[in-house]
Structure 1
Amino acid sequence: MAASMEVVNGAWDLATKFISPWNTEVHIGCEQNNFESATNILCDNGLLNLLEDWFFEEVQQDLRQRVSPAFWKFFEGLVPQDSVADKSEQNIVCLLQATEYLHKISEEYKPCIQLLESLPREINRNYSMLAFCGVNKISDVVRILFKSVVFTRASREFRDCVGQFYAQAFSVFHCVEHDETVNDDEESTKCSGCKHDKNDCACQHIMQRFNSINAKLDEVGVLEQVSGTSVTALVHEQILQHVENTCQGNFETAYLSSLQNWLENKVLGWLKLVYSLDRTNIGSDCIEGFKGRLIHFLLETYANVQISQLFKIIIEFPESELAIMDLKYCLEKVDMRSHLVTTLKSSLETRLLHPGVNTSDILTAYISAIRALRALDPAGVILELVCDPVRKYLRSREDTVRCIVSNLIDDASNELLEELVKSQPLIDETTHNEEEDGDWKKWMPDPVDADPATASKSRRASDIISMLVNIYGSKELFVNEYRTLLADRILTNFNYEIEKEIRYLELLKLRFGESQMHFCEVMLKDVADSKRINTRISEERIQKGEERTVDVNAMILSAQFWPTFREEKITLPEHMQKLLEEYTKRYETQKGNRTLDWKSHLGLVNIDVELKDRILNFNVTPVHAAIIMQFQEQERWTVEELSTVLQVPATALRRKIAYWQSQGLLKEEQTDTFLLVEEHKGRSHDSIVAEDEEAESAMASSHAKTGEELQVFWTYIVGMLSNLESLPLERIHGVLRMFAMEGVSGEITIDEVKHFLDNKVKDQSLIYSGGVYRLPKSS
């Protein structure tokens, strides 16, 4: 039978008196029996749930009106963290006092909570506060109320106090727990943990206070609420500092293993102390979850540090291979490929791709990038994305091909020579078959950032030389550049010893094919034949007993197989010309129906210059020899007179005379008038041997060769423009490519066509207007 309203009201008043958070009195004895009787009456009338709800409402009101203002008052007027360093202890003391206050309030609530938890449970609790909060205990709901009511806000002073508290504890923990002794540094008077004088070391006190505060915050249920942000920020800061201090600037050591050990022992060891595993509210699952996030952050931080200095790592490869392997592991765990590509592209463009850097230095960096990025990403996708601007920039430089070919056959440059010795066939990106020699069992998909237009196998298999050749997409261009360079080496050095050149040629034949290197084979054969013919002519002269005043050795070349020579007019002195004619007759005697067409400006002349006080020996070009020999006829010459006699333009003649001026043999008396210096005071009378320092190429320039070849197509260009009136550059280049690809210099680029057409515009043979070329009306 339901009790009367007065009885129920009396039971309610008595029960709420016992569980009121405002009431700090302790009720014992018979009054406890009265509480049980009152709660029985409430239970019989279905009001027990309301008693719990009333308690939670009172707790919220108490926390909001009394506890929260008192708690935050502890932090009013404190010194911010970034101001006075020695005030941090005062701030931490305030945090200790505030924590003890919260813990005191929590202890005051415990008797009420225990009374409520001792009451019988009702069947329908779906709409109770416990169900709403997802917990089973009233004490758990109170902890939630502490978090949600007291910590609805957090002042800067509070955050600073918490940050100082955990930073201090972190420093002391590392000193006490992981160093054998706090006072291990004899030179310092300060403790490395607490920063106090060693005689007043407070590390032990700090650790005791640290454990006490954490324990009390945990009992109240707000440890995560108070520590979470500060601990996370502190740990991240420590990881960042440790990674930078450990790994910055050193690329020859693998750091990931030691960094992960440091994280496990130092950082997680401290976190386990913060969230002590012997307490029930926060367990090992929390630490393990935090561990996974910290490992991810460690890998991300390490990757960021390595990416920021990746340009240096690439330049120092292969010494930096361990750093590359560490970064490769990080990229497998952390999604930072896009950041790496963007950062490295920017570094390459800033440091390499500008006129202030030599082409050879760009190539060296590019080769290092190929090797390093292949190790970092075997699929070749990062290499393709990062180095595309480098390839385009190298394509725009005129001396790129020459630098590549020079490095291929340069003993001093071992990088490309090592690749050449591997004798792999050249891989052409434009013709590579994706399905050739495929092993489906070893197939791996490309990364998501790969260009689907590029063959996967080509990207993975291309070696360094293939990638360099594919900068232009034409191996004919490289073969012709090698042919030009080979000709220049032969004619500049004037050396018949070609064993090394034959070795290079055989290696290049394995790369580019027999047919591509046929012209070069003939060139080396010409050198060997020239040596044999010179020997035979010399022996024939000896057999006839002819006097050998001057030896003439010729380099006899098959003109159709050699590149275009640099043209230079010169009329040699009669004595020199007679020697060449005699050699020609002897050659015709041996070869019958063949003769020689001399390139008088090429070659090397060894001459002795006999002066009054000394004899000098020189190895110079025929032009230089012809100039100094004219001073046998008379001691003083004007540039105009020499130009008339030698048939050399005055501008070129002045440049050649400058060499003899630098040797002290000629003196400019007045403008363009030169005098032979027979005596030189202070100079030794001993013989002096001098080389011609003006190392001028024997080959025609690339523009000259291209212009010569394009001149062949000039009639065709005129015909096109006559029929179609006007054409843009791209259309003209597209039509000419079909013809130019068959030329001796390989495929002619659009820039070369533009240079040729612009010269025609300067000569008034063409008109350029509105982006198109047309013939002049008078034509």
Structure 2
Amino acid sequence: MSSTSLDDRLWDDVVLAFPILGELPITHESAPIDPDQWRSLVYALQKNEMCHFIEDLIIEKIEESLRNKVAKEFWREIESESCVDGFDRFKKAVMGLARNYVTFLPYIEKLEAMRNLLNSKRKIHGMFDLMSLLKILIRSTLHSQLPVPKHLSVVEDFYKLSFKVFYYSDKTDRELNESGEDLQCGGCSESAENCKCDEIITDFHNINRILIQLELLERLAGEVLTSLIHEQIESHVQETCKGSFDISFIEPLEKWLDSVVVGWLTRLYSSGPECPVTQEKLNTFNRKLHHLLYETYTRTRIDQLFTIIIEYPDSDAAIDDLKVCLEKTDLRPFLTAKLTAALQSRLLHPGVNTPDIITAYIASIRALRHLDPTGILLETCTKPVRQYLRGREDTMRCVVMSLTDEGPGDLVDELVHGEESNQENPLNWEQWNPDPIDASDAKENKERQSWDIISMLVNVYGSKEIFVHEYRNLLADRLLVQYSYNTEKEVRYLELLKLRFGDSQLHYCEVMLKDVYDSKRLNTHLHSEPNFGLKLQEFEVTCMILSAQFWPVFKEEKLELPQKIKEHLDVYTKAYETIKGNRTLSWKPHLGSVNLDIELKGRTVNLTVTPTHAAIIWYFQEKDQWTIDELSSVLHIPPTVLRRRIAYWQSQGLLKEVSTDTFLLVEESSGRSAKNIAVNDMMCEDDETESIMASAQDQREEELQVFWSYIVGMLTNLESLPPDRIHMMLKMFASQGPSAVECSLQQLKHFLDRKVREHKLLFSGGFYRLPK
């Protein structure tokens, strides 16, 4: 027998054992071979050193078949338009892949048997296990021919429908039984009679079993499964807790996740053979899904956090949930950025009133203290709010008004029941935790722990002195606008503020209240003694005597009172000097109130007005008609101010303008009803409720007036100077000493521009000079 004929017979035996090497199609099954014949064949191949050649050749044939037939058929079925339903397209593609996979198994098994018989340890494509190699070849070939991600929609259709069927599997029967009607199935969307849910579940298990066996599940469907689960969790969270902040949702959401989502995944993975790897994957999925749930719920609550803060404490359940979830996620920086942006866009613009901003700020303090007791979130997120409030002129006044029961918020109770600012809380070392990574240094941390709501509001300006100064102005307004000697409520507030800010800070306010009490006692004494002559006067004069150095600066307004009024005031002054000896009174004629009975033809009008209004109408009893210039000369009031004051009497129907700047007393009734008079009275009184204290800007300009003589001297000697040069020279010569007034360049420019408007300076080409 020649060697050539021996090789031919051997090759025929090999083709008989492995038809894939012949001309027969790959699906042809080889005939059974006797075990003795199989061993003889293997040893013959070994003797001729053909074993490795046959192994490589069979693997190459399998790869060729995978490339040219199996993969093309799989993706052709996925992209087929003949079947519109994505569920069926994916099912057919996977079932075809499984059939092809089965045809390769006999060849792999015979190769493994040959290797075992020869005890071969040779690696093929770097692997010993040929069954694992076959699965790798299938996966790599499929992915090498992966089309445009159009297939994802088909895979998504398959798993969406299966999830929907699983979700509604228990509901359909119950609804049908309760109603007795042929309802539409919530899972497959067919009628209850033609329900295909059982078929879908069977197909679902079969397809997943194949994918798990080929280790293709996560490679083909992993992205789709993740996206689908994320979508379902996000949708359920939104539907469950939308707009509801007074109930905790963590436990119900966890139960839903375990029963629905994890239950569905368990069914999905249980479709394959049971093994430790499968259970380990389920446990890993379970942990990841719970983290995804916490993250989704946390992001949802962070998006709603501004509303949650505004509704606090009714929303404390949502704050508790968010506190728990922040410990399980890393979304603290996201919360900080999101809330800071929300506060800026919702609050920090001119369209929002200062009281509303303060109310929201107070709610933020309370809610964020609950969420983060360390105060880090509060300090970081509300920093822009504090900076913005610092730039609003009426911020501190609104805070003070809220503390005295006349403004926004509920700060009066905080003042009454809140902790004192200097109270220290004992630290339990067993409950101590380090600050988060975004915390500042230890000193600021200690300050944060001692901050309460009132302290934080006061610290918006960074100084208790500014708060006390504003409170003193407000107290003066309340005492002098109402002209009431009843100070019980003010004393109560002052005592509460002294507990928080100390006696020394509020000493001036104590003196102010004492002045009111002393004035009441003095007036009673002067009017009860006949020797002082006050009882003999035509009208009663009472006075509020103020200690000038303890009260804020008043708005200055010129007013020359009628002679008879001044005579009455002189009598009061002499009576005061009789009691006090070396003291006298310096009257503020534009401050106070006057109760008038105005007798006209057939009617009497009773009004309480300011001294300026009373002086105006007083002169109309001397003659019926006055011009603005005439009244201005006798009252010493600027015409512009005088015209505004006369408007009040016009609204009351007592004066009318007969010609330009000429006014006539109207004694005849205009026919207005008492109701209309009352309305106009209220409107005019509201117009006059501006503060009688000098504004901070007025006081600042008064302080800057000390520089004027220096500026005149500079410009007299040097003719013209730019503002920065004037500022530098003032700092050198006029801003020295313990009582020196500080002045920024911007403040100096405002002061110089005011002098230009008053025609006391000229400005040209960036230089100021004196007018010639």
TM-score when normalising by structure 2:
0.87
In structure 1, C-alpha distance between the alignment counterparts of 2:12 and 2:765, rounded to whole Å: 100
Look up the SS of the partner of 2:595 in the other structure.
Answer: strand
In structure 2, C-alpha distance between the alignment counterparts of 1:45 and 1:340, rounded to whole Å: 73
Look up the SS of the partner of 1:192 in the other structure.
Answer: coil
Match for 1:377 among 372, 380, 400?
A: 372
Alignment match, 1:83: none
Q: 1:102 touches 1:220 (CA, 8 Å); kept in 2?
A: no
Over 3 Å counting, the alpha-carbon distance change for 1:666 and 1:339 in structure 2 is: same
Q: Given the alignment of the two structures, is residue 174 of structure 1 paired with residue 135 of structure 2, yes or no?
A: no
Give 1:731 deviation, angstroms: 7.1
Deviations along 1:636-673, one digit per CA (max 9) or x if unpaired, are 22222222222211111111111122222222222222
Alignment match, 1:14: 13
Alignment match, 2:456: 467
Over 3 Å counting, the alpha-carbon distance change for 1:762 and 1:489 in structure 2 is: same
In structure 1, C-alpha distance between the alignment counterparts of 2:374 and 2:756, rounded to whole Å: 48
Q: 1:638 touches 1:674 (CA, 8 Å); kept in 2?
A: yes
Match for 2:404 among 402, 409, 412?
A: 409
Deviations along 1:529-576, one digit per CA (max 9) or x if unpaired, are 011111112222499894575332211100010000011111223333
Alignment match, 2:98: 103
Q: 1:314 touches 1:372 (CA, 8 Å); kept in 2?
A: yes
Give 1:70 deviation, angstroms: 1.6
Look up the SS of the partner of 2:608 in the other structure.
Answer: strand
Match for 2:504 among 515, 531, 535?
A: 515
Alignment match, 2:528: 539
Q: Given the alignment of the two structures, is residue 74 of structure 1 paired with residue 39 of structure 2, yes or no?
A: no
In structure 1, C-alpha distance between the alignment counterparts of 2:491 and 2:465, rounded to whole Å: 20
Look up the SS of the partner of 1:307 in the other structure.
Answer: helix
Over 3 Å counting, the alpha-carbon distance change for 1:607 and 1:237 in structure 2 is: same
Look up the SS of the partner of 1:616 in the other structure.
Answer: strand
In structure 2, C-alpha distance between the alignment counterparts of 1:775 and 1:352, rounded to whole Å: 41
In structure 2, C-alpha distance between the alignment counterparts of 1:542 and 1:49, rounded to whole Å: 138
Give 1:425 deviation, angstroms: 4.8
Residue identity opposite 1:283 in structure 2:
T
Over 3 Å counting, the alpha-carbon distance change for 1:642 and 1:563 in structure 2 is: same
Match for 1:252 among 243, 246, 249?
A: 246
Give 1:124 deviation, angstroms: 7.6
Match for 1:214 among 191, 208, 214?
A: 208
In structure 2, C-alpha distance between the alignment counterparts of 1:737 and 1:471, rounded to whole Å: 31
Over 3 Å counting, the alpha-carbon distance change for 1:356 and 1:23 in structure 2 is: closer
Return 276-285 or 516-525, whichever deviates more. Answer: 276-285
Look up the SS of the partner of 1:447 in the other structure.
Answer: coil
Q: 2:723 touches 2:749 (CA, 8 Å); kept in 1?
A: no
Q: 2:164 touches 2:187 (CA, 8 Å); kept in 1?
A: yes
Residue identity opposite 1:455 in structure 2:
E
TM-score when normalising by structure 1:
0.86
Over 3 Å counting, the alpha-carbon distance change for 1:214 and 1:370 in structure 2 is: same
Alignment match, 1:340: 335
Match for 1:273 among 257, 267, 270?
A: 267
In structure 1, C-alpha distance between the alignment counterparts of 2:19 and 2:749, rounded to whole Å: 95
Look up the SS of the partner of 2:663 in the other structure.
Answer: strand
Alignment match, 1:144: 136
Q: 2:344 touches 2:384 (CA, 8 Å); kept in 1?
A: yes
Match for 2:282 among 287, 308, 313?
A: 287
Give 1:20 deviation, angstroms: 4.8
Alignment match, 1:667: 656
In structure 2, C-alpha distance between the alignment counterparts of 1:170 and 1:47, rounded to whole Å: 52
Give 1:604 deviation, angstroms: 1.3
Match for 1:325 among 299, 320, 344?
A: 320
Look up the SS of the partner of 1:410 in the other structure.
Answer: coil
Look up the SS of the partner of 2:207 in the other structure.
Answer: helix
Q: 1:469 touches 1:478 (CA, 8 Å); kept in 2?
A: yes
In structure 2, C-alpha distance between the alignment counterparts of 1:687 and 1:27, rounded to whole Å: 113
Alignment match, 1:229: 223
| Alignment gaps of 5+ in structure 2 | none
Look up the SS of the partner of 2:626 in the other structure.
Answer: strand
Match for 1:598 among 584, 587, 592?
A: 587
Alignment match, 1:41: 44
In structure 2, C-alpha distance between the alignment counterparts of 1:268 and 1:53, rounded to whole Å: 44
Look up the SS of the partner of 1:318 in the other structure.
Answer: coil
Look up the SS of the partner of 1:121 in the other structure.
Answer: helix
Give 1:60 deviation, angstroms: 1.5
Look up the SS of the partner of 1:151 in the other structure.
Answer: helix
Return 760-769 or 351-360, whichever deviates more. Answer: 760-769
Match for 2:617 among 628, 631, 634?
A: 628
Alignment match, 2:477: 488
Alignment match, 1:84: none
Return 472-481 or 118-127, whichever deviates more. Answer: 118-127
Give 1:513 deviation, angstroms: 1.8
Q: Given the alignment of the two structures, is residue 310 of structure 1 paired with residue 299 of structure 2, yes or no?
A: no
Q: 2:600 touches 2:668 (CA, 8 Å); kept in 1?
A: yes
Identity of aligned residues (%): 44
Give 1:607 deviation, angstroms: 1.6
| Alignment gaps of 5+ in structure 1 | 80-86, 429-434
In structure 1, C-alpha distance between the alignment counterparts of 2:237 and 2:747, rounded to whole Å: 51
In structure 2, C-alpha distance between the alignment counterparts of 1:560 and 1:477, rounded to whole Å: 18
Residue identity opposite 1:18 in structure 2:
A
In structure 1, C-alpha distance between the alignment counterparts of 2:358 and 2:734, rounded to whole Å: 28
Alignment match, 1:82: none
Q: 2:376 touches 2:438 (CA, 8 Å); kept in 1?
A: yes
User: How many corresponding residue pairs?
Assistant: 756
Alignment match, 1:63: 66
Over 3 Å counting, the alpha-carbon distance change for 1:636 and 1:74 in structure 2 is: same
